[in-house]
Structure 1
Amino acid sequence: MKLRHIYEKKLGQEDEPPETHVESSFHYEEHPDNVPGFDDAAMRVVFRRFGRGEKPRNYEVEIDWLDVKHLIREFIEIEHPHAEHLQRILKMARSLDDQGWQSDLEPSEFWEGLLND
């Protein structure tokens, strides 16, 4: 995941492109406030010492399962081939459900907002 900071333009620099700072992080971890088995569990992506200058700061981006669902839908909408393939797989799995196959382990709200039917 990338974190991007766009610095504010200073007086007299309105015509110059904004200065940005971008860093990637692959430091994913479970959010410490998660309750085991709770529906709204979250992950966090940690950006240590992010920023320019002598005093970079630590940041983290928190994501939950609803964010993952939205990201899948957004990637499908921009026609990303992996997301479209995942959508086909999910539709195939859902068709099994429609034919009477049920799993007791499936969360009741799993399909809500996941597929654009």
Structure 2
Amino acid sequence: MRYKMIKEIKTETKVLKFIYLFDVVFLVAWIAVGVMLKNIVYTDLQIPFIIVHIIFGLIIRAGSPYNKQKKIYEAISFFLKKDKNTYSPISIPTSKKPLIKNYGEMYGEYSDLITK
């Protein structure tokens, strides 16, 4: 008997074939914030501001190219919330010297137990 694995336990409601309900709600709220903020923008630039604001909302709501299950705004929030003190990049040694020079370095306090 073969067991089937559940791939997804959370499903989103689709409005159309590729548009989800949360996307529509997010974009409506995004546009509402843009309309409220347009009053602080110079009068001649209010229409371009709204257009760029809508385009930016569509971009951050799109799927992330590097993590298929997440949206771009989720990737940005992970980046901003990460603890910068715990992350350190892997550095590749530039010299060709061996990392361990002798057995004493490798075994520390137990190096006297090793017969050479």
TM-score normalised according to structure 2 size: 0.23
Larger Rg: 2
Structure with the bigger percentage of strand: 1
Structure with the bigger percentage of helix: 2
Greater RCO, 1 or 2 (C-alpha within 8 Å, sep 6+): 1
